[in-house]
Amino acid sequence: MFESVGWGEILVLIVAGLFILGPERLPDAAAWLGRSMRKVRDFASGARQQLKDEMGPEFEEYRKPLEDLRQLRNFDPKRAVTQHLFDGDADPLGLNSINGNGGSEPAKPNGHPAVASPAPEPLKPGEKPPVDPDAT
């Protein structure tokens, strides 16, 4: 409930309460606030338990879609698209093996190591490079 409230905000509230209520009434106000929060929490957990008892096994059936909606808060579209396109492959382009960060063998998309093709021999002096007419 108060997940976004940090220690700085709590400190500001305590200082504001100290100025508004004064030092003699602040402990009583804090105790009242604690008791009230405990009552609200007990009411909420009691209502949840009562609902669960009355609905029986159907409670989990209705709770599952709500949990799925709660998980959508943490949805990262960029990560989802990347994971879908590359099937969770951490190095889809095989750049880690080129840069020396990964394994010695690049992996195929199906997860099996690729057969290393021999490196092309360097051109001899005066030799023309091969031309692919479809590429130009």
pLDDT in tens, 42-100: 998 898 888 888 888 787 787 778 787 777 777 778 877 777 777 766 666 666 666 55
SS3 (DSSP) at 70: helix
> In this predicted structure, which of 29-43, 89-103, 106-120 has the lowest mean pLDDT?
106-120
Overall average pLDDT of the 105-122 stretch:
60
Average pLDDT for the chain? 77
Hey, is 121 helix, strand or coil?
coil
Is the pLDDT score of 110 beyond 70?
no
Angle at 64 between CA 63 and CA 67, to 5 degrees: 90
pLDDT of residue 50: 87
